[in-house]
Amino acid sequence: MKIPFQMSSAPALLVLIILFICVGCQQQMSTNDTSNDKDSIQASAPAPADSVQKEDFSQVTFLDGGGKPVTLESLKGKVIFINFWATWCPPCIQEMPSIDRLKQTFKNRSDLVFLMVDVDGQYEASKAFMDENDYDLPVYTPQSEIPTAFLGNAIPTTVILDKQGMLVVRAEGGRDYMEPATVKALNDLLGN
């Protein structure tokens, strides 16, 4: 007996949602193969500073868990590592352990700041995720508009600003942030 195949709207909707998430996240993270330079921060760096448009990001503002605003202006003089992510994004979740280890590597540096920005503005869910996984990564939500120079159409996206507040790295897609080239690039920015 032959049974005709019919797809109800619920499974079709589920398939569309999964495709949307995969396309939205855009890029799966590579494995722990540290010999692949395409995943390092250095490979994602834009052209030399002379040719980079010098935008003023000083008024970009995020909120911490207590609702206190943090402007990028208030962080000048520090290297700023900003990761835009969401709890529903598989590549975001996959890169999180390496970001946590990177932060631990530089834990004694007061001139390096990590901002984990939940693009959905769901602070409580993101904070719960960090706590459940024992990550020491501070969660923020956007208060001001996120500049397109920071975030395009994909997450995860990481941007790094130098001590003068200039954008020096914009990396879309998941990465292994513990690659030697990444650690070296941060040390160079910090002046080590």
Q: Is residue 169 part of a domain?
A: yes
Q: Tens of pLDDT along 66-97?
A: 999 999 999 999 999 999 999 999 999 999 99
Q: Is residue 120 part of a domain?
A: yes
Q: How many domains does the chain have?
A: 1
Q: Is residue 24 part of a domain?
A: no
Q: Tens of pLDDT along 47-58?
A: 344 434 467 788
Q: Is residue 28 part of a domain?
A: no
Q: Is residue 72 part of a domain?
A: yes
Q: Tens of pLDDT along 90-119?
A: 999 999 999 999 999 999 999 999 999 999
Q: Is residue 3 part of a domain?
A: no
Strand pairing report for 112-118 and 139-142: parallel
pTM: 0.75
User: How many angstroms separate the CA atoms of 144 and 105, rounded?
Assistant: 30
pLDDT score for 42? 46
User: How many angstroms separate the CA atoms of 33 and 142, rounded?
Assistant: 33
| Across 151-162, average pLDDT | 94
Q: Is residue 128 part of a domain?
A: yes
Domain that holds residue 108: 33-190
Residue 111: which CATH number? 3.40.30.10
